[in-house]
Structure 1
Amino acid sequence: MKSKLLIATFVAAAGLFTVPAHAESFDGPYVGVQGGFNRAEVADRIDQAGAIDADISREAFVLGAYAGYNQKVGERIVLGAEAGISAGFDDELRGLSGGNALTIDPRYSFDLTARAGYLVNDKTLVYLRGGYANTRVRATLASDTDVVTTSDNLDGWLVGGGAERALTDDISARLEYRYTDLGSDGGEFDQHQALVGISYNF
């Protein structure tokens, strides 16, 4: 009985990925959620915390939401715009600044990007992404006698690419890589992300 149930479950799951989608799956507004892996790397300086004695990095899980609009401009070409917001979990970076303990805590991030894609077929879109990124960061510098906390918004840019697959007429799934550079303050603050998203297409 268990084997029959497992087979039935497998067949049903496989059917989810073979449901035919209409030809306009990537044309119009959409909303979605995404999550995945984030690696942050910081060096030189951050906010008013001063010089960082060594490069520091941290890997964490990130979760976010997004909304956007796709427009087919040809038989196979899709252009779009998207806004997103995200936050990491247990993503504080710790190092030393002038011999004192430094903690860098990214609070949340948002981005505004453009997307250009090519329809491999009616259900599969491959695309490139680029645009503006901003992260709210709190830095805490602790010495033997004092603790100083500052907050700042770091401006930057991101680039990336991925693939999106229509599962049904309304639901699509995507896999994406992003690189974000938030070093506009003169220091280095880079992020590498591998994200999986689920979208509802109106």
Structure 2
Amino acid sequence: MKSLSLLALAATALLPATSLAQSFEGPYAGVQIGWNNDRAPLPDGAATSTQERDSFVGGIYAGYDHAVADNVVLGVEGGFQIGVDDRISGANNLVAVDQRYAFDISTRAGYVVGDSTLAYVRGGYSNSRVRLSDVSATGYETENLDGWFVGGGVEHKLINNVSARLEYRYHQYDFDEDDLERHQVLAGVSYRF
């Protein structure tokens, strides 16, 4: 009888911890808005200099999380983003880079803190559709730039199936012999199905 009581007590103690991670389990979708800081190496006469621009970004995302331990969550996520007014021009506006849109796929690992907050890190693949303009040539050309990104954030449950998150990301894309960099701060709202 005493061993049954101890077993019941142990099971009761484990249930809340398990349900914490499970509150972030399953499929979800959301919308996000935020800030970009893009940096691109562009020709500046005979040399190259890094030009940068701040802009607004918006997008959508969807993913799936799975609770692998009491407070540990692993997941995958895909997203699509469009920047607004993010064209970067070189000296004298001779050359410009305009990121039209980007998509990404990533994995994330998180730890549930408190009753309803998930702190996580993220990393994955990113692809940006870029329009390159050169006034010395006619028109423009469009390229897809492959890259990678890392980041981290916090997601907090607001009500049963709705959560809000704040996240930082660093992207790096292959761009000619140099790299195009993007820093982002994103705020999102998710619905978990």
Q: Same fold (TM over 0.5)?
A: yes
* TMscore range, shorter length: 0.7 to 0.9
Residue in structure 1 matched with residue 80 of structure 2 by the alignment: 85
Extract unaligned runs of 5+ from structure 1. Answer: 1-20, 46-50
Letter of the aligned partner of 1:120 in structure 2?
V
1:26 is displaced (CA, Å) by: 0.4
Deviations 1:137-171 (A, max 9, x none): 0001003xx43411100000000000000001100
Aligned alpha-carbon RMSD (Å):
1.9
Deviations 1:111-154 (A, max 9, x none): 000000000123000000000000000001003xx434111000
Asked if 1:132 is matched to 2:125, the reply is yes
Asked if 1:102 is matched to 2:95, the reply is yes
Deviations 1:23-80 (A, max 9, x none): 63200000000011100001167xxxxx873211110000000000000000000000
Letter of the aligned partner of 1:30 in structure 2?
Y
Residue in structure 2 matched with residue 189 of structure 1 by the alignment: 180
Normalization by structure 1: what TM-score? 0.80
Q: Distance in 2 between matches of 1:104 and 1:71?
A: 39
1:183 is displaced (CA, Å) by: 2.3
> Which ranges of 4 or more aligned residues in structure 1 deviate by more than 4 Å?
none
Rg (Cα) greater in structure: 2
Higher relative contact order (CA 8 A, sep 6+): 1
Letter of the aligned partner of 2:66 in structure 1?
Q
Deviations 1:78-103 (A, max 9, x none): 0000000001001100004xx77011
Asked if 1:200 is matched to 2:191, the reply is yes
Extract unaligned runs of 5+ from structure 2. Answer: 1-18
Q: Is the contact made by 1:23 and 1:122 (CA closer than 8 Å) also made in structure 2? A: no
Q: Is the contact made by 1:52 and 1:95 (CA closer than 8 Å) also made in structure 2? A: no
Q: Distance in 2 between matches of 1:130 and 1:186?
A: 23
Alignment of 1:156-167 (within 5 A): 156-167=147-158
Rate the CA distance shift 1:182–1:89 in 2: closer, same or farther, 3 A. Answer: same
SS in structure 1 opposite 2:90? Answer: strand
Matched residue count: 173
Aligned-residue sequence identity (percent) comes to: 47
